[in-house]
Amino acid sequence: MRDAVTSLIKNYDVAGRYFDRNAIDSLKSYFESGTARVQAAGAINANAAAIVKQAGSQLFDEQPELIRPGGNAYTTRRYAACLRDMDYYLRYATYAIVAGSMDVLDERVLQGLRETYNSLGVPIGPTVRGIQIMKDIVKQQLAEAGVGSASFVDEPFDYMTRELSEKDI
């Protein structure tokens, strides 16, 4: 797993180049947003259970067929598995926010996820929607907590939804 800094260094090292203006600007941006990234991670960690619970409630309100007989979240075991997975996505999104890199998502979340879900008959659409809902809740909570510009919060959630969605066509 790499962060924004080690990824940048690796890319320049492989090319045998010194940092150029783009690299310096990228590093500067990453370090300037460091405090906000850590604040965001702290806020997410402090509210993770509530975020997952609220996102699950909203998802099942929007798509009640998921919790009806025959639905993918029908039965207590399946409902709990859905919330557990949402918690995983939130936790790894937090790691990616701090790292400023999506590598952790590729390595720990997305690699093999499609195959696993397909083999279990888990629909991707509601998964994507649940991730989007969590992003909205996190952004709202960060705004209420006074965390400044937190556009970096979009990155891991959007990355997961994009990667899952593109492969579901």
Query: Helix (H, G, I), strand (E, B), or coil: what is residue 12?
Result: helix
> Do the domain assignments include residue 124?
yes
2 is in an annotated binding site: no
72 is in an annotated binding site: yes
Query: Helix (H, G, I), strand (E, B), or coil: what is residue 19?
Result: coil
Query: Helix (H, G, I), strand (E, B), or coil: what is residue 169?
Result: coil
Query: Helix (H, G, I), strand (E, B), or coil: what is residue 41?
Result: helix
pLDDT tens per residue across span 100-116: 999 999 999 998 887 88
> Do the domain assignments include residue 14?
no
The DSSP string of 69-108 is TTSTT-SHHHHHHHHHHHHHHHHHHHHHHHHT-SHHHIII
168 has pLDDT over 50:
no
169 has pLDDT over 50:
no
pLDDT tens per residue across span 37-83: 999 999 999 999 999 999 999 999 999 999 999 999 999 999 999 99
Half-sphere exposure of 63 (CA within 13 A, CB side): 16
> Do the domain assignments include residue 12?
no
> Do the domain assignments include residue 5?
no
- Please report the pLDDT score of residue 30 as a whole number: 93
CATH number for the domain including 93? 1.10.490.20
> Do the domain assignments include residue 25?
no
> Do the domain assignments include residue 100?
yes
- Please report the pLDDT score of residue 148 as a whole number: 73
More confident residue, 148 or 31: 31
Domain count, the chain: 1
Q: What is the mean pLDDT of the chain?
A: 93
11 is in an annotated binding site: no
- Cα-Cα-Cα-Cα torsion 104, 108, 110, 113, nearest 10 degrees, comes to -170
> Do the domain assignments include residue 28?
no
> Do the domain assignments include residue 160?
yes
> Distance (Å, rounded) from C-alpha 113 to C-alpha 117?
6
| Helical (H) or strand (E) element with 114 | helix 113-120
> Distance (Å, rounded) from C-alpha 87 to C-alpha 97?
15
> Which structural domain, as residue segments, surrounds residue 61?
34-164
> Distance (Å, rounded) from C-alpha 4 to C-alpha 27?
8
